[in-house]
């Protein structure tokens, strides 16, 4: 497998790839750089750069109009019109009065159009929380009492040296494609068994910082944008 850089620009935190089949372009963010990029593989160039005012966790194009995006930025979820640059706040998912400053990070839409997004602290501190907590917007944070461990990188033989599990993409066969940041490996994992499907389902890159395979990816290509530090 041949790996090559498709551009000369270095990003602070390149993440959140989305293959837009309607335009045949790859969209992704520089999270810390507060920018959304559109890359055209035919011209091998960035054809659109959108600069926003806060760190970007993720974005999803609208099904009915790919020139409109749902963008998670800072604490809020926005609708962004790429043609007019009009930005509308849909909701604030996080409480600005929280003792731990946080922002929205990775997110995806499910099959019925619901946005699922995680949060992360703007800076790392410790906080002990037990039980259920509710924000002012009636959005919930809950304990992990019902969590299931499908794959433990530290405890599973053969996985200890794979780095950190990062972005996930689920394919049409309900298998998880998981990037392993710091090792340059992308694995296909069976969620029922917690095991890597086969050696044929592993992609190894000569680069350490892989973040995620795009959803809706062109089947003739794989585009894992790589964060550069």
List Cα–Cα distances, 109 to 11, 59, 69, 186, in angstroms: 25, 10, 12, 22
222 is in an annotated binding site: no
25-30/35-40 β-pairing: antiparallel
Check whether 105 is labelled as a binding-site residue.
Answer: yes
- Other CB atoms closer than 10 Å to residue 163's CB: what's the count? 18
Q: Is 62 exposed, middle or buried (0-12, 13-18, 19+ CB in 10 A)?
A: middle
> What is the Cα–Cα distance from 18 to 29, expressed in whole angstroms?
10
| Longest Cα separation, the chain | 52
Q: Is 146 annotated as a binding residue?
A: no
Query: What distance in Å separates the CA atoms of residue 40 and residue 50, rounded to the nearest whole number?
Result: 15
Phi, psi of 200 (to 5 degrees): -70, -15
> Which residues on neighbouring strands pair with residue 120, listed in sequence order?
103
Report the alpha-carbon distance of residue 31 to residue 58 in Å, rounded: 8
The annotation places the binding site for substrate at 103, 105
| Residue numbering of the annotated binding site | 15, 103, 105
Q: Enumerate the known binding-site residues for a divalent metal cation.
A: 15
């Amino acid at each position: 497998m041949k790996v090559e850089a498709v551009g000369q620009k270095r990003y602070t935190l390149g993440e959140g790839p989305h293959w837009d089949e309607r335009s045949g372009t790859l969209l992704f963010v520089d999270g810390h750089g507060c920018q959304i990029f559109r890359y055209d593989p035919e011209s091998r160039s960035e054809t659109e750069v959108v600069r926003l005012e806060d760190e970007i966790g993720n974005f999803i194009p609208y099904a009915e109009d790919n020139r409109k995006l749902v963008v998670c930025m800072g604490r809020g979820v926005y609708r962004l019109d790429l043609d007019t640059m009009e930005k509308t706040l849909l909701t604030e998912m996080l409480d600005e009065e929280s003792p731990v400053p946080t922002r929205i990070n990775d997110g995806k839409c499910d099959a019925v159009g619901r946005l699922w997004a995680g949060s992360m602290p703007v800076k790392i501190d410790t906080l002990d929380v037990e039980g259920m907590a509710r924000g002012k917007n009636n959005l919930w944070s809950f304990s992990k009492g019902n969590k299931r461990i499908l794959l433990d990188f530290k405890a599973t033989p053969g996985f200890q040296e794979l780095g950190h599990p990062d972005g996930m993409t689920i394919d049409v066969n309900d298998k998880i494609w998981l990037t392993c940041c710091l090792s340059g490996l992308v694995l296909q994992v069976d969620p029922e068994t917690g095991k890597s499907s086969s050696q044929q389902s592993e992609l190894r890159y000569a680069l350490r910082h892989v973040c995620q395979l795009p959803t809706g990816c062109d089947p003739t290509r794989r585009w894992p944008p790589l964060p550069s530090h």
